[in-house]
Structures are given as C-alpha cells and as structure tokens.
Structure 1
Amino acid sequence: MSDSSGSSSWSEIFTPRFATVTLILCLGVALFAFNAFLASVALPTAVQQLGGIALISWALTLYLVFAIMGGAGAALIKQRLGSRNALILSAAIFLVGTVIAANASSMTEVLVGRSFQGLGEGVMAAICFALIPELFPARLVPKIFGMQAVIWAVAAFGGPVGAGLLTELVSWRAAFLINVPLVAIFVLGVVFVVPGKREGSTAEVGFPGIRLLAIGAGIMLVALAGITPPLEATGLLIGAAVLLAGAVLLDRRSRVRLMPLGAYWPTSVVGSGLIMALLMPIAQAGAAVYLILLLQQLWGYGPTVAGGIGAVMAVAWSLSAISVANVRRPTRKILIRTGPALVTIGLVGLLAGLLMEQLPIILVAQLAIGAGFGISNGYLNLSMMEAASDEERDRTSALLPTTQSAGNAIGAALAGVAANSAGYASATTSAEIHQSIVPVFILGAAMAALAVLAALRMTGLMARNTTTSAFAAAE
C-alpha cells in the first residue's frame, strides 16, 4: 500500500490510471451484492415451475455458507495461484454455478448451482478486497470503500427490481443468466489489469480442509438455528460457537494460516477490528430481517412503501461513506468510535418508533444506523489493512467481507431465536407482536454496544502504536 496521505478528489479513481481497476473491483463486489438479493425475487417463480418450495430458504443459506468458506480460504488461493489466476478460477466456478441454476430441472439442482455461485463469489469478493491496498494508494482507499457502499445501496434497490423485471418479462432463468455477460466483462478486465503471481511466491500451501469444514459446518448450524424451535436452536448455536472458535484456535496453531495472527482477539488493532467488523452486522441483522415485515404487519403498509423505508438505511450508508472519504487521519479514530454508537442509538430508536407507532422516529433511526456503518466501515477496514504487516495484509483484507457475511448470518439466526422465544411466530394481535419483537432489538443494541467497546479498544491500540512509533523515530 502506498503510504501517501495527501488529499485527493473523487475524480482520481476514474482517471486512466485507476478507472479500469476501479471498475473491475467494483464489479466483483457488485456480482456478490446482486446475487445476495437474487434468490428472494426470482426463486418464488422458480418453485412454481420446479416444485420444492420447502427448499427455497436454502437457496440463500447455501450461497452464504459457501461464500463464507470461499472467502476464508481466499488468501491462501491468492498466495498459491496469484491474484489474476485466482480471480479467473473463482469467476469460472461462479459461472458454472450460474449455468447449473439457470438450466435446473429441480430445486435440488438450483441449490447445487447456488452453492457453486457462493463458493466462487466468496473467493472473488475477498480477493477484490485484498487487492484494494495493493492497487491503490492509501489516500484513495476510503473512496473505493465509499464506491462499494454505493454499489450495495444500488444492489439493494436495483437487484430486486432488475431480477423482478427479468423474471416477469423473460423468465426466472434470465435473472440468473444476466450474470454471464457481467462475468465475461469481469474476467476480461482481470486479464488486463490484475497482476499475476509474484516471483518467488512458490511456497507450498497445504489444503486447510478441517478448518474450512469447521467454518462451513458452524455457519450451517447457525442457519439451521434460525428456523428451529428455541430450545433446539440454542443447542445448535452452542455447537456453532464451538466449531467456529475451534477453527480460529486451530488456525492460530497452523503453519499455513487462513487468518491473520491474533484474529478475533482483542490484543491487536487487527484482532479488535475484526471483532467490531463481526459485531456490527450481527447487531443490524435483526432489523434487516424483521423491520419491513413488521411495518406491513403492524401498520398495514404495502411491500413498496415498507421496502422504501427499509432502504433508507442503505441510502444513508452510501451518502455518509461518500461524505467522510476525505477526512484527515486524526478524525478517523473518532469516526470508528462514533459508528457503532450511532448503530446502537438507531436500533433503540427503531424499537421506540415501532412501539410508539411513530414513522418519523423510525426514519431518523434508519438514518442513524446507515450513517453509523457509512462513517466507520471504510476507515475500520483501512486501519486494519495499515496495521497488518506485509505478510498478513492479504489475510486481513480477504477476511473482511467474510467476517461481515458471517456476522449477517449469525445475526439473522440470533434474531430468529430471540423472536421465536418471545412468541413472535404465534403472535396475532399488535400487543403480542410488540412484546415479541422487544428482545430482537434489545439483542441488536447490545451487540452494537459491544462493538463500541471493540472500537474503543481498537482506537486505543492505534493511538498507543502511533505514540510508540513516534518515540522510536525520535530516538
């Protein structure tokens, strides 16, 4: 990563030097974002033709499980094959999954295709993250993260709309096949702008099968917990925690690691940052799962209006990420600490707005949550990349989207357990629904509060490291 701290304009990432790289990295993330929303729109029509409605929820579950596994192993794949070959291979895997799903004659085949899609896209997204500090100077990294926030907001709106139009006007299969030309553009760009394997990077890399299996099984148990009764779900979550913690501990002792040293351990900037990066999606996932549904249940809003209110968070995320992309270095620590605090306030505000039936409170709360993610996420990621050693930077960068995806999966499952334990599934009156959703938002706010503590720990370590470096330079 170039250590340039000078100011820069947004137009610089679109100059001839960086424009193609910007397009390719953003397209890699866009494929992941779009396909995360695809299943909920196209597959209801697919099951009417293919049957297997009981399997429909697994289309997203398997996509995320394999995406997390792929992302976890992305740094090793990049090390073994080089960035260019790893991206081409993962794009090919994603394309195979797309073709299988688009030509499926049963829901089982759709699930196989979605699994390949998730595996390929998990690697693609993680390597695209890892390439950001390699291909851009430090002063432009916040702007690239800002662009990616815009992509997620566009995907939140355009993904469902585009998939819906293709499904209605052509077929649900076309909603999958639209990926084919996008992958072709992505691969063409990768061939020309992404560096190949570095000279001297020929160290033998073993296959971390046990660790990847433990990660995949752990996330699978988390997904199952979200759709099972509370007592069984608790056991599944305990089992998932054991598997995921075991994978982290086993990785720390391995000769060839998937994760940076000290991952998810609050003794370093990277470890504390990864804890924060995990906790914030966990905190927000409950609102993402239940808010739109609650607005329809409690207030009688239609899907369009309720969806628009839900999308306020994504718009606030993008706008706030863009607005802070030029802040000076001392302000970054403030933004990292302020982000999870805003998310905490916003989640409490959502609960208050639902209980008091006040739309303005909900809108302000959504703005607070989106702004919390937008102002902190880019600088959280950048600070971890800068704190990581050259040897650990690939592992750190590649683990970021994987950690966020895992946080979303874990948070959705925890929210489901909290809601079902409080009787949400059987609630019929407004009072019963109100009572059953309280634990969902309290749990989310508690996770966000823990993220505040992780942010304080991280920024404290950053300040300590800066002071130590200053003393060393003075000597």
Structure 2
Amino acid sequence: MLATALIAIDATILATAVPSVVGELGEFDQFPWLFSVYLLAQAVSVPIYSKLSDTIGRKPIILIGVGLFLVGSILCGLAWNMTSLIVFRVVQGLGAGAVAPMSMTIIGDLYTVAERARVQGYIASVWAISSVLGPALGGIFSQLDAWRWIFFINIPLCLIAGWALIRSFHERIERRRHRIDYLGAGLLTVALTALILGLLEGGNAWAWDSVPSIACFGIGLLAFLAFAFVERRAAEPVIDVSILKRRLILTTTLGALMVGALLTGVTSFVPTYLENSIGVIPLLSGLAVAALTLGWPLATSIAGRLFLRFGFRTTVMIGSSIAVLGALGLIAVGPYPNPWLIAAVSFVIGFGLGWVAAPSLIAAQSSVDWAERGVVTGANAFARSAGSAVGVAVYGAISNNIISAGAGEHDPATIIQATTGVFIAVAVTAVLMLLAGSAMPRDGRRERDTAPAPAGEPA
C-alpha cells in the first residue's frame, strides 16, 4: 500500500501543475512528453522486472523500483528546463515500472482469489486518498508557484515505503542462473520510442507524410516485427508471447491496454483543458480529475463481491459499459467547459474502470501458478503502461494538430475544440475495451487458486 501510494499520487499530481511548469520552463507543445516518456520507460521496463521477479524474487525488484523513483523525483525537482525535466521523468518511469507490477504480483502471491477481493479494497483506499490528495497538492503547489515540490514530496514517501518493505516483507525462492533477454528489451524500447515520437511530432514538428514521420513509423514497425521474431526464439523472453495464445490472457491484456489509454486521456488533458479554456484555478481542475480516481477505487471495492458471485467476464462487461457511457458524456460536455460537469462524467468513467482493471487482472493471475504469475501480471501491467504511453501520444497528436490548425494554444475556443477531439478518441477507446471484455471466457478462474499458496512458495 505504501509503495502503491507513490504511483497513485504521481498519477494525478503533475497534470494539475502543467500550466505552472510550462509558465516557468516554456515549450507548451512539449508537455505531452512529460507523460509519454514516463509511461514509455514504465512500459518497456515492466516485462524485464516481471521476468526477473519470477527468478530472483519480488522484494529486490520492488526495492530497486522505489530507489529509482526516489532518484528520479529528486532530479525532476532540480530540472532547469523542459528537456531536462523530460529526461528525468524517464528515471521516475523506470522506478514505476518495478513498483506497479510488483505490488500487484505480491498480492497475487500472498492471497487467494476470495482474499484478493478484500485486499483490493485496501489498495483501492490508497487510490481513493491519493485521488484527492494528489490533485489538491498539485493545485496548491501550482498556486504557490512551487511546482517543484510535487516531486520533492515523494522523498519521504519513498523512504518510508522502502523501510517498510525491508522490515516486513520476506520471501523464499529457489536461486538459479538466468539469461536476460537484452536484445528483446532493446527492440521493444526502439519500437515504442519510434512510434510515440512519430505520433507526438507528426503534424507538429514535421508533416505526416514527411521523411521523419515515415522513418519513425517504419522503424517502429520493423522493430516490432524483429521483437516478435526474437521473442519466439529467446531462451527466457522478456515477454512470453506464447501466453497470449491463451484466450483469457489475451483478452485481459487487451483490456488493460485500453484501461491505460482511457486513464491518461482524462488525467493528462482535463486539467489543461479547464485551465486554458475558462481559467479554472489548478486546485479546482485537479479535483475534477480526482473524481475519476475516486470512482475507480470505490468500484474496485464493490467489484470483489461481484466477480466472486457472477464471474469475471460479467463484472468486466458491466464496468466497460459504464465507462462507455461516461466517455460519451465527455463528448457531450466538451464544448461547454465546466469543472463540475467534467468531474461528474470523470467519476462515471473511473467507476467503470474500477470494475474492469482489478477483476481482469485477478482473472489472469488466477489462471496460472506462482512461476508464471510474475510474467502474467507483468504482461497486464505492461499493456496498461503501453496503452497509457501510446494513448497520450495519440491524444497529444490529435490535440496538437487541431491547435496548430486553429488560432493557437492561447485561444480558448481552439483549446475546447482540441480537447473535444481528444474526448472523441477516448470514447472510441472505451468501446474497444468493451469489445475486449465481451471476448473473455465466461469463467477464467481455477478452483485450485482458492487455496493458499503451497509450501515452498513465498511466505
């Protein structure tokens, strides 16, 4: 819960301070990179951490993540321009890439399916508190012209989380030698970086049909094809593509991809939309985003009882349908910026996502043994991170292109039009999530997972 708080607060605290950051460092068109490079670093590192956790244990990996997040936070607080801040966000993302999946994997190790429903409520409480605390702190620091403290505040949180893990978490694992798939990890990094670069800068820094744009997408595609080829032959692949042959793993992974994209579509763009269109103060725009991250844990605490009674697929379908309704609500209120309306529809989206994210992850975890649980959890976390990274790039491309074709970033009407375009893309993402949920098997649980972990597995 302490480690999760690092990621939960960071999910909302920066978005509310973007105008203040840009006001001091400049380069408004580069602000989507603050989110995309963080999410990119998180995405590409998740499979590596997850694979290592199945071999050397969860504890050293999550401690590495907390340490990197601490270093990254300190560097971000000391950033002297937008470029340096973007680079230091990469370090933060590498830390988050370990913390996020390890927290979920440890829960999967320690608790049965029935117990996880209750424990997810505890984790949900962390997100609930962070959903209010993060935007509030971001807004306050922005109002005080002290945005650097949104990073410095992570220092005590990291130290406390690290101390608690060292003191209280113990595990027993079988040590053996392993071969890390460095080539696969490198190809995946190149593929995602090229794709995100092409999406963010296409139509902005260069034309969509220009040589740089074609090169980015071409390199990205070739790197993805090479990655798939390498992974099929690697002794210990960074992402075991074969697990995606299982229908449950494939559909839950696709669902996680859409969850990540939906989450960043709202949290990354709503604050800037409200502040630049009608001049809403950062604190209030942050609370509008908080409504989404408040609805999520509230739904998660309820979802545990639902999937135990009605099954994972039904719960995910209900949540996806609610999220679609919320996304359509965003389109409806987009032309009429109002923080209270935005908060209301954001809450609906978050409530729907809470009925999708946890049940689909638990379904995937419950279908495998301990030796594969880290990889499966990592695949889910990777998909969510990759969805967030690619999602913010796609939404950023839509926003930047509409702003470039309009009257510019200082024109409220253009900002409204650009954000409405983003909201339409968010609604399309929600529909795709619904389709992925409908393809899930009707029962993804194994009855054996209702028993505690056998002897020899982590205590």
Q: TM-score range by the shorter chain?
A: 0.7 to 0.9
**Correspondence for 1:450:** 432
Task: Pick which of 288-297 and 382-391 moved more.
Answer: 288-297
In structure 1, distance between residues paired with 2:127 and 2:343: 19
Which amino acid counterpart does residue 127 of structure 1 have in structure 2?
M
1:235-264 CA-partner distances (Å, limit 9, x unpaired): 445654554465355324322022345455
Matched, 1:215 2:188: yes
In structure 2, distance between residues paired with 1:453 and 1:214: 29
Matched pairs, number: 437
Matched, 1:379 2:359: yes
**Length-normalised TM-score, structure 2:** 0.80
Q: Where in structure 2 are the equivalents of 1:354-365 lying within 5 Å?
A: 354-355=334-335, 365=345
Displacement of 1:434 after TM fit? 6.5
Matched, 1:333 2:313: yes
Matched, 1:226 2:200: yes
Displacement of 1:273 after TM fit? 0.7
Q: Where in structure 2 are the equivalents of 1:203-282 lying within 5 Å?
A: 204-224=177-197, 225-229=199-203, 231=208, 235=214, 236=216, 239-240=219-220, 242-244=222-224, 246-248=226-228, 250-264=230-244, 267-282=246-261
**Correspondence for 2:452:** none
In structure 2, distance between residues paired with 1:300 and 1:166: 17
Task: Pick which of 298-307 and 26-35 moved more.
Answer: 298-307
In structure 2, distance between residues paired with 1:48 and 1:358: 23
In structure 2, distance between residues paired with 1:134 and 1:293: 40
In structure 2, distance between residues paired with 1:145 and 1:375: 12
Displacement of 1:380 after TM fit? 0.8
Q: Where in structure 2 are the equivalents of 1:388-467 lying within 5 Å?
A: 388-422=368-402, 426-427=406-407, 439-460=421-442, 462=444
Q: Where in structure 2 are the equivalents of 1:314-329 lying within 5 Å?
A: 314-327=293-306, 328-329=308-309
On the 8 A contact 2:12/2:290 being kept in 1, the answer is no
**Correspondence for 1:129:** 104
In structure 1, distance between residues paired with 2:93 and 2:395: 23
In structure 2, distance between residues paired with 1:167 and 1:299: 17
Q: Where in structure 2 are the equivalents of 1:6-405 lying within 5 Å?
A: 26-37=1-12, 39-40=14-15, 58-102=33-77, 110-163=85-138, 165=140, 174-199=149-174, 201-202=175-176, 204-224=177-197, 225-229=199-203, 231=208, 235=214, 236=216, 239-240=219-220, 242-244=222-224, 246-248=226-228, 250-264=230-244, 267-296=246-275, 301-327=280-306, 328-355=308-335, 365-405=345-385
1:39-62 CA-partner distances (Å, limit 9, x unpaired): 556787778888888876544443
Which segments of 5 or more consecutive residues in structure 1 lack a partner in the other structure? 1-25, 467-475
Task: Pick which of 42-51 and 432-441 moved more.
Answer: 42-51
In structure 2, distance between residues paired with 1:298 and 1:131: 43
On the 8 A contact 1:280/1:340 being kept in 2, the answer is no
**Correspondence for 2:453:** none
Cα 1:58/1:167, change in 2 over 3 Å = same
**Length-normalised TM-score, structure 1:** 0.77
Task: Give the root-mean-square deviation of aligned CA atoms.
Answer: 3.8
The SS at the match of 1:231 is coil
Identity of aligned residues (%): 22
In structure 2, distance between residues paired with 1:392 and 1:276: 20
Displacement of 1:133 after TM fit? 1.0
**Correspondence for 2:456:** none
1:188-222 CA-partner distances (Å, limit 9, x unpaired): 222233234513x31x2222222222232333234
Cα 1:239/1:190, change in 2 over 3 Å = same
Displacement of 1:407 after TM fit? 1.0
In structure 2, distance between residues paired with 1:49 and 1:441: 28
